[in-house]
Structure 1
Amino acid sequence: MPDDVKEVTALRDRKKARQRAALLQAAAELFRERGYDRTRMEDIATLADVSTPTVYNYFATKQGVLTELLKQDRLDQLKPVEALLRHPPEDPAEALAQLIHTNMAPLRRTEDKLLWREMLAAIVRAHDHEQDEFDSNRAVFKRHIQRLLEHFVKAGRISPSIPLAQAAELIYAINAYDLRYLLAAESHTPEMIRDMARRQMALLLAGWETATPAKSPSSAPTARKRKTHR
């Protein structure tokens, strides 16, 4: 492909990416202010200053907009999450608590919490299949959890008898509860969630962590017999 054609293609791709980002930003603003149900595709187009068909060129449905917002959130969190996964704390409970905290660290402002309340409510109403795009989004974070668990199994800190897929599901459920707790009040902070997750993970992992093997009686040093003097 000639260089000038490559340049034109690259410019077109960048323009599409900027337009897509602008549409998602407009949708997020409307979801916060009006709510998901009361926002129409036409409203997104008006706020983004484009035609309604342009919005449909990027997103086939409003649910598709919601899915893309969730995907964008996962992409935004990928760098800090990967940094934690590469260099986790030595303590498994602390590592998992930090992972949960990293997942929620950006949710500090009232408007961000409002957006996530709307998104979660919309997800519950729209999620009517066992496997769909929403479940695929959740699967990303569950894989992060399982990677941490696998790390600590290899390090000898978590028992290899623990079923890791089910363990990751359980930790994800705690993460989901903690997210709802964070969103429930303006005064709740990601740091409160981190401290809460530390207690939760310490209790949960108490039955999963490997104990220091006890010495068998045969390996214990024998007591030296005392000499008797007659």
Structure 2
Amino acid sequence: MTGLRAKQKADRNRRILEAATSLFREVGYDSARIEDIAERAEVSVGTFYNYYENKGDILVAAVSMEVEEVLQSGKAIVENPPPGPFEALQALIDQYFDHSLVYLNKEMWRTAMATSIQQPESPFSRRYTELDKRLCDQVSMLVQKLQLRGAVTPGLDAAAVGQMAFNNLNMMFIEFVKDEAMTLETLKERVTRQNRPLALLISGPRTQ
């Protein structure tokens, strides 16, 4: 029975989260009401509050779900990356970008980013910062793996290179969510152009 109750609780939570994110996309984060989220998820308002205190909690849960799935997909690339730095970075970064609008739209990302900056000591901001760090660490792990293979220059600070690559892709993603007209393809093309010289600079003897 314990396992069944846990499954029912997880299913209910998933329904609430999916209902909220779909409503946010349809009417906007600010206009979405908790009563409407509960109705769409087929739960009572009281049940909603058993899971989340407010819409902000829902938003951070959506960001977490997004990033956790991206990290899991990226793990396979890090474990067995393409042979060269350029191809490997592109595979990982494209994976991040391709998944970025699955649960959140640009408005939701802007709200999440603004909240993390405006309330730096809040649980939301700490969680957002932690997720960013895990993504950054994964990029650094990819560069370190390539270095072990001889595809990245020996002696280079692979962790720092990964941080540089992540900081750039993160800044470009911010520019993307700020601009409603920018397409995902445009974002990927711009980051690809920026990654090409970086990959060339760090390439080791096996890729030169």
TM-score (norm: length of structure 2) = 0.80
Gapped regions of structure 1 (runs ≥ 5): 1-7, 213-230
For residue 24 of structure 1, what is the aligned residue in structure 2? 17
Residues 57, 147 of structure 1: alpha-carbon distance in 2 compared, 3 angstrom cutoff: same
For residue 60 of structure 2, what is the aligned residue in structure 1? 67
Residues 207, 200 of structure 1: alpha-carbon distance in 2 compared, 3 angstrom cutoff: same
Query: Between Structure 1 and Structure 2, how many residues are aligned?
Result: 203
Residues 133, 108 of structure 1: alpha-carbon distance in 2 compared, 3 angstrom cutoff: closer
Identity of aligned residues (%): 25
Gapped regions of structure 2 (runs ≥ 5): none
Counterparts of 1:205 and 1:22, CA distance in 2: 42
Deviation at 1:40, TM superposition (A): 4.4
For residue 195 of structure 1, what is the aligned residue in structure 2? 189
Aligned equivalent of 1:57, options 27, 50, 57: 50
For residue 156 of structure 1, what is the aligned residue in structure 2? 150
* Residues 1:175 and 2:169 aligned together: yes
Spell out the pairing of 1:1-230 with structure 2 (5 A cutoff). Answer: 8-107=1-100, 112-128=105-121, 132-183=126-177, 184-186=179-181, 188-189=183-184, 191-210=185-204
Counterparts of 1:58 and 1:47, CA distance in 2: 15
Contact 2:147–2:153 under 8 Å retained in 1: yes
Deviation at 1:104, TM superposition (A): 1.3
Residues 86, 33 of structure 1: alpha-carbon distance in 2 compared, 3 angstrom cutoff: same
Range moving further from structure 2, 41-50 or 14-23: 41-50
Residues 10, 108 of structure 1: alpha-carbon distance in 2 compared, 3 angstrom cutoff: closer
Deviation at 1:116, TM superposition (A): 3.4
Q: Deviations over 1:7-38 (max 9, x none)?
A: x1222111111110111112212322343344
Contact 1:181–1:188 under 8 Å retained in 2: no
Amino acid across the alignment from 2:199: L
CA RMSD of aligned residues (A): 2.9
Residues 46, 123 of structure 1: alpha-carbon distance in 2 compared, 3 angstrom cutoff: farther
Counterparts of 2:27 and 2:118, CA distance in 1: 17
TM-score (norm: length of structure 1) = 0.73
Amino acid across the alignment from 2:66: D
Contact 2:71–2:135 under 8 Å retained in 1: no
